[in-house]
Chains A and B, each alone.
Chain A
Amino acid sequence: MIVTTEAASEKKPVEDQSLESVAIRFVGDSGDGMQLTGGQFTTTSALFGNDISTFPDFPAEIRAPRGTTYGVSGFQVQFSSTDIHTPGDIVNAMVVMNPAAFKTNIADVEAGGIVIVNEDEFTKNNFKKCGYPEGYNPLEDEQFQGDYKIIPVPMSRLTRESLADSGMGTKDIDRCRNMFALGIVYWLYDRSIDPTVKFLTDTFAKVKNKPEVAEINIKALKSGYYFGETAELFPVRYRVAPAKLKKGKYRKISGSEATALGFVTAAAKAGKTLTYSGYPITPASELIHHLSRLKHFGVRTFQAEDEIAAICATIAASFAGDFAITGTSGPGIALKSEGIGLAMMYELPMVIVDVQRAGPATGMPTKTEQADLLQCMFGRTSESPVIIVAPQSPSDCFEMAIEAFRLSVRAMCPCIYLSDGYIANGAEPWLLPDLDAIEPIKIEHPTVTNNPDGPYLPYQRDPETLARPWAIPGTPGLEHRVGGLEKQDVTGNVSYDPDNHENMIKTRALKIQKLADIIPPLTVLGPEQGDVLLLGWGGTYGSITTAGNRLRDMGHSVATAHLRYINPFPKNLGEVLSAYRTVIIPEINMGQLRLLIRDRFMVDAIGINYMKGKGYMVQDLVNETLAIMNR
C-alpha cells in the first residue's frame, strides 16, 4: 500500500495505538547521518523510559561513492515497554533515505511494516547507482506495495523549502534531511523533540561554535515533526509506554563507553593509574577515543606504532606498576600473541581487550563474530594459559572490566577481555552502579625484601593464590630482572632444570584455576533441571535469553545460562551442564566453546552455529532449538 498525501487529506481522525515494543531502522548513505539519527532516537526513547537495545551497522567503506549499496549505513533500535535484550529480529518501521538503502534493507521489514522513504532520492540516476534495472522503480513495484506500508515523503524538497530563508548553502541544508526524517518519526511514535533540540544546541552551538548549524537542524527537526502531524500520512500514531525497569538512575551506554568507565573505576578502586596502549583497529579504536578524553583521571594513552609495540608497552607499564591495558581485535591478538606469552611468563597483571570482528584475516572488520575464543585460549607458544572474561552486553562491560583487573592482579596473570563488535557498538540502558558498593581491589607492592640475606626473590609465591609479588622499579632493595627464559621458581633466575620447568608450567596454569574460588557461580534462567540448556557466552546473551523466554512461554523445558568467565570456568558449570538432557551451545563461530565444553566435561553438546557477521535472530534460535528437541 502506498499512502499518499492526497489519500490522507480526507481528514480521518488520527487513532492512537499502544504497542509493546517497536524495532525501527534508519538506513541511508554513509553520509546521511544515520548513526546520529538512530542515536538520537535511542537517547530520546531511553529518556522517555523505554527499555532499548541498539545495533549500528556500519558500511565497510568510510565514504563509499554516494548512492551505492556498499555505502549504506544503518542503525536499528528496539524500544519497548518491557524488558528486552536485542535490537529486534524484524524491523517494524524503517526510514529509508535512498534506493540503495531500500534495496539492501527492505527484506528485513515485517509484512505490513511502515517504510518511510525520501522519495526525492528515488531518481533514475540513483536507481542505476545501486544496480536496479533500467526503468524499474521499487516504489512502484506492486509486490512491495502489497507487502509494506510505503510512505513516500519528498524530504529533500521539504527540507530545502523549510530552510529556504535560513541563508545557508544547499549543502548545509541538505545535511539536515536526517533531522527532518527524525522529526517525522518522533511524531509517529509520540516522542518529545526536546532531547534532540538540546543535543543539537550543545553540539553545534556550544561545542563547535556554529549556532547557525544548530538552528537549521532544529528547524528541520521541527518541520519534520509538524509535517507528520499536519500531512496526516499516518492513520495511527503509536505509543510505546515506558518500561518497568528496576528503580534507580539510568543512562544510555554503549559497550565501548562502559568498558572505558569500568577500567577507570577499577583503577580508582585499586588506587592505581591507568595506562592504555593501542594501535588503531576497527572495532576497538572507540576504547582509546574514550580513554584519551579522561586525562584528568590521570589516564595515559599511548598510540603505539603497531600492535606489537602496544602489547610490549603495556607489559612494561605493568612492570612499572600501572593498571595497564591494550585493546585490539582478532588480527591484533595474532600480532600480540608473543607478547601475551611473555606477559604470562613474567607473571604480571594487565588486561588485553579483544573486540572481536568477523574474520579470518582482515575478514569483515565492521561485522561481528565470536571466533577468537580459541585463539585467546590457546593462540600462543607452548603452554601459555591466561585468564579470559567475556562481557555479555553493553552495560555488562562495566562490571567485567573491573572483574578483569580484579582477577588479573590476584593471580598476577594477564587477562583477556573478550568482547565483540556487537557489544562494543550496541547500547542499552544502564542502571548506574553505587560506586561505594564496588569492592576495592587490593594491591600490594612490596617495599621490603623477602630475602634479607641475599638477592630479592621475585618469584616467591603467595601460598594461597600462587601469585608472585608485584615489586616495582623505584623500590630500593627489590631490584630484579624479568625475562622470557624459563625461570627457577622463587629466585627467578634463568633455569633449564627439567623438574623446575614442569613445575612452573603447572603452577602458571594452577593459579588461574584457583580463581574459580572467587568468581561467581553460573546462574541459570528457567528450570534448574530439564530438557534443554542453551549455553552461550559474549554478545549472544540477548538473543539466547529472549529465545529461552519464548521457548518457556511455549511450554518447553528450556533453561539458559551465559558464561562471563571462560578461563577459569565457574566452579558449578559441570553441575549445571549435567542437569539437562541436552546442552545446546549457540555461537557465532564453528563451535569453539562447544569444543572446550566437550573436552572438559565430556558433554555431548550440540551447536547452533551462524557465521553471518551479525547476531542471531531470536526466531532462528527458537526454531533451531525446537528442531534439535524434535530430533
Chain B
Amino acid sequence: MPDTALPTLKAKDFTSDQDVRWCPGCGDYAVLTAVRKVLPNLGRRKEDIVFVSGIGCAARFPYYIDTYGMHTIHGRAPAFATGLKVSNPDLDVWIVTGDGDLLSIGGNHTMHIMRRNVDINIILLNNKIYGLTKGQYSPTSELGKKTKSTPMGSIDYPINPLSLAVGSHCTFIARSIDIDVKHLNVVMLEAAKHRGTSFLEVYQDCNIFNHKAWFYATQKETKAETTFMLEHGKPMIFGADANKGLRFKGGSLEVVEFGEGTGVTVDDLAHHDETDRNLAFTLSQLAYPDFPEPMGVIYRNEKLESYERMLHNQIDEAIEKKGVGDLHALLHEGDTWIVDDEE
C-alpha cells in the first residue's frame, strides 16, 4: 500500500553489497540493470519487496538486489512465491529464473501459479541452454541441438513458454529482449503494475554456452524482419521498410505486404487486442523463420481476482460470519462431560 511517506529510491538503492558473478557479456547483466531501474518506479518500499529464484545462473539474481530475497531449490520458486503471498499479500514478489528451472524441473509449479493468478511477477531469462551445469540442451532448445549431452542432436521438441502461459490462463503475458534496454524497461514496468501473475519472457544471450542463439531476433541487421512490436489497438507491422504486416486468414495469421501496389491497406492488417486470449495463443505460436516473433504485451486481463486476495477474503468473511475465533470455545465445543468425583 503506497503512502505519502514513500522514500525516493534510486537504482543503486537496490544494489546489494554482493559482487555479481555472471560471465562477462552475459545477458543477465542487462536484465539486472533493468530490474534495478524499474523497482524505484513502483511506489513500493524496499522492505516490502522479495525476490525469489530457483537454481541456475539466472537464479543468482536475488543476491544482487538489496531487498528481501530467497534463493530456493531447483524449479520451486513459484511455490515459494505463492507461500509468501498467502502469508503476506502486501509483499511485492518477483521470480527471476531460467528456462530449465521454470519450464523443466519447475514446469508444474509454473503452470499452477499462473492458473491461480497469484499476484507476482515472473521474469524468465530464456537462453535455451543449461548454463550453470555447463551446457546441456534445455526444454526451450530447438530440435537437433548438439550439446554435451546430445552429441547427435537433441530429439525432443521444445516447449513454447508463451503458449504454456496462455494455456495456464496467465493473466499477463509479455516478451522482450535482454539488450533492448528501453523496451525491456517499458514492458517490465507494465508487468510489475499488473495485478495477478505476470509473465515476461526475455530472450537472453548465454554467451558462453549458447552464444548468438537469439541473434536473429536481437541484432540490428535482422531484427526488423524477424520481430515486431505489439501495441494494443495498433496494426501488426514489421520489416525494415515497415511494409509488411500480419493479416488474419481463417483462424490464424499470414504475412502480407501492404501499401501502394499491393492491394492491401493498413486497415486490412490484424490489430492487436491485449484482451483476446485466442489471439494471444495465435501470437505465441508465431515463430521465426516462418513468421516474425511478437514482442511486447501479448495478453493482459486485469479482471481476475488474485488467489491470495480470495484466500484472505474468505478469512474476512468467516470472521464476519462467526466472529473472531474464541479459542476457549473451540476447545470446549462438541460433546463434553464433567467428571466431578475425585479419583
Contacts and interface: CB of A to CB of B under 8 A. Distances in A.
Contacts of B82: 302, 304, 309, 313, 316
Contact of A305 (B80, B87, B108, B311): B108
Interface string B81-110: 111101110110000000000000000110
Interface in A480-524: 480-485, 493-494
B66 interface: yes
Nearest to A277: B83
Contacts, number: 214
A250 B86 contact: no
Interface stretch (A112-120, A260-268, A366-374, A400-408): A260-268
Contacts of A310: 79
Q: How many of chain A's residues touch chain B, expressed as a range? A: 35 or more
Given A475-B47, A481-B70, A322 B87 contact: yes
Contacts of B86: 275, 277, 300, 302, 313, 317
Contacts of B334: 251-252
Interface stretch (B155-163, B261-269, B290-298, B323-331): B323-331
Given A47-B335, A296-B325, A482-B69, A474 B88 contact: yes
A306 B105 CA distance: 13
Contacts of A277: 83, 86
Interface in A240-282: 242, 244-252, 261, 264-265, 268, 273, 275, 277
A47 to B, nearest CB: 5
A245 B340 CA distance: 9
B50 A473 contact: yes
Interface stretch (B133-141, B214-222, B314-322): B314-322
A295 B80 CA distance: 22
Contact of B321 (A296, A312, A478, A483): A296
Nearest to B90: A474
B68 A481 contact: yes
A41 to B, nearest CB: 13
B212 interface: no
Nearest to B47: A476
A264 B330 contact: yes
Q: How many of chain B's residues touch chain A, expressed as a range? A: 35 or more
A313 B328 contact: no
A250 B335 CA distance: 9
Given A245-B343, A435-B331, A476-B45, A250 B87 contact: no
A342 B53 CA distance: 13
Most buried by B among A339, A473, A483, A494: A473
Given A321-B88, A476-B45, 10 more contacts: A46-B335, A247-B341, A252-B334, A294-B330, A312-B79, A317-B83, A320-B83, A473-B47, A473-B88, A479-B66
27 contacts: A47-B337, A49-B337, A49-B339, A249-B336, A249-B338, A264-B327, A265-B331, A296-B323, A296-B324, A300-B87, A305-B79, A308-B76, A309-B76, A309-B79, A309-B82, A309-B112, A312-B72, A316-B80, A324-B83, A342-B73, A455-B17, A474-B48, A477-B47, A480-B68, A482-B70, A482-B71, A483-B62
Interface of A: 43, 46-47, 49, 195, 242, 244-252, 261, 264-265, 268, 273, 275, 277, 294-300, 302, 304-306, 308-310, 312-317, 319-322, 324, 338-339, 342, 432-433, 435, 454-455, 473-485, 493-494
